[in-house]
Structure 1
Amino acid sequence: MTLKLGLIGHPIGHSLSPWIHAKFIDLAGLTGEYKLYEGDHTKLPEVIQNLKQSGVDGFNITVPYKQVIVDYLDNLDRDAEILGAVNTVVNENGKWKGYSTDGEGYVRSLMDPYPDLLNNGTSVLLLGAGGAARGIYRAIVQKGVKNIDIANRSLDKAEALLPLRTGSAKSKVMSFQEAEQYLHEYDLIIQTTSVGMKPNVEDQIIQLDNIRQNAVVSDIVYQPITTKLLQNAKEHGALIHHGHAMLLYQAQLAFEKWTGKHLDIAHMVDELEEKLRGE
């Protein structure tokens, strides 16, 4: 089986997806390629047409096309439909079906180092209410977490996440200032925005003075590897979770959907960190 895989987005020249999926292909004992299909919005129809003609087995989509791609698909997974965004497309018997692996990929990356963290007694604080937050919010609720609150600058945007709830999960919306005040109530704090990303490495979305000892602080930013928020968390006695692990595990889930193969990739978290550090 020779896989034809790829990534659509703009710009994507810096993407680590080809490196990650080349490793996955080797681990799975398969042959194949993972190519970059870059183009601005004027070239997207041409990129899509070329992919259809190539008989591609599947591909990923990144910004700015996670919503736009929906118009080119034959079917949508239920979660992708609810989230309104797709980052993985699978060629299923000639039909293109869209999935979202970001949220579940994040949860997998978290449960690798902290397998018992997510349960109905866990109290979670989500910082931010953008596209990444939507996927993560829904995936965590689906794991049976009963309390997951959202802090954001725009309270209206945070409230727009609430319809994504399932079951008996409860959420309240608050400002970042309120989040700092009540921080001691949470077992897990997840930073889902771009705050602290290079080159603005001194930025920190909230202060952690009120954090609970041994709470877990997770930041989806992976450049730098350890953001100022994570550094501050360690200084306050909290545990930390790095963003590059999410990158790896959402790719793992996409690869499963393309091949049906579940790969053990825990050893690759450190490899990816070395790659990001340029070592």
Structure 2
Amino acid sequence: MSELFGIIGNPIEHSLSPLIQNKAYQSHHIDAHFQAFHVEYQDLETAIKGMKTLGIKGFIVTVPFKAKVIPYLDEIDQTAQKTKAVNIVHMIDGKYVGYNFDGKAHLEALLEDMGIQSLSNQHILIIGAGGAAQSIYYTLSQFKDIKIDIANRTKEKAKILKDIGVNVKNTNVISLAEAENKHIQYDIIIQTTSIGMWPETDKSPINISHLKPGTFVSDIIYNPSETKILKQAHENGARTQNGKKMLALQNALAIEMWTGKKVDYNVMLQTLNEALS
């Protein structure tokens, strides 16, 4: 009998996870099916109980439930505790355990696309202070020899984000205007907000018209493939990365956790590219 996995969210109709997950199962001969579940806000607890009763061994959590799901889980890992957000759930011995793989997936994608094994001595700008920024910052803050600036529309929210870090002495909170004025200083710029996402593709959180040689700009948005900030970065000689590889890696990590089988994330990345072309 096939295992059933899924994703919960609201709205959920736009999710590409069912497409890429089922393609991975098919390509790797895994007897499983992945389903999207639209959950109403007031029905979240009932939905989690129902999934456990059905024996669903794992599911992905997306907006707006990454924080709201925590009270209905049995345990959460350290990253989820720090960031107060869960995006992967796995049933272990009848208990639902929540994890946050946003930062892990982004770091793997970043290192691979930059062609390096460490972020030592990098000066990094993180734009945004939302859910994805929390996990990405928490992961990066564990490096002792990098410097991080967090820029957000409201500095108060960025200060709260700084407090979850490990090596906070290496972190500064700045305004978006300050980030725009000093963007030439950064080795890596990571854009974590929804600004520039389809259909508002003409927007960018900051202007980056002057970049130092070798700058790498990452935007976690995957639709469009090239946001306004990535287009500007590319035009100014920077290497760039969109959110497709991060999404593919998140799903690959989930499959490995749920099934014990390592899958080639490139299968999912290719499916993503085809779906968004």
The aligned residue for residue 36 of structure 1 is 36
In structure 1, the gaps of 5 or more residues are none
- TM-score of the aligned structures, taking structure 2 as reference length: 0.94
The aligned residue for residue 222 of structure 1 is 222
Using the TM superposition, give the Cα deviation of residue 145 of structure 1 relative to its aligned residue in structure 2, in angstroms: 5.2
1:166-185 matches, within 5 Å, as 166-167=166-167, 170-185=170-185
Where does structure 1 differ by over 6 angstroms across 4 or more consecutive aligned residues?
none
Using the TM superposition, give the Cα deviation of residue 144 of structure 1 relative to its aligned residue in structure 2, in angstroms: 4.9
| Secondary structure class of the residue paired with 1:217 | strand
1:14-163 matches, within 5 Å, as 14-116=14-116, 118-144=118-144, 146-163=146-163
Residue type matched to 1:24 in 2? A
Change over 3 Å in CA distance of 1:145–1:11 after alignment to 2: farther
| Secondary structure class of the residue paired with 1:33 | strand
Q: Distance in 2 between matches of 1:267 and 1:234?
A: 26
Q: Distance in 2 between matches of 1:202 and 1:168?
A: 34
| Secondary structure class of the residue paired with 1:172 | strand
Whether the aligned pair in 1 keeps the contact of 2:248 and 2:266 (CA below 8 Å) is no
Q: 1:103-130: CA deviations, max 9, x gaps?
A: 1111122222223174221111001111
Change over 3 Å in CA distance of 1:227–1:168 after alignment to 2: closer
Q: What's the Cα RMSD here? A: 1.7
Whether the aligned pair in 2 keeps the contact of 1:105 and 1:251 (CA below 8 Å) is no
Q: Distance in 2 between matches of 1:14 and 1:210?
A: 35
Change over 3 Å in CA distance of 1:215–1:117 after alignment to 2: farther
Q: Distance in 2 between matches of 1:26 and 1:150?
A: 41
1:172-251 matches, within 5 Å, as 172-251=172-251
Q: Distance in 2 between matches of 1:159 and 1:216?
A: 25
- TM-score of the aligned structures, taking structure 1 as reference length: 0.93
Query: Is structure 2 residue 41 aligned with structure 1 residue 13?
Result: no
Which deviates the most, 96-105 or 27-36? Answer: 27-36
Q: 1:121-140: CA deviations, max 9, x gaps?
A: 11110011111110111112
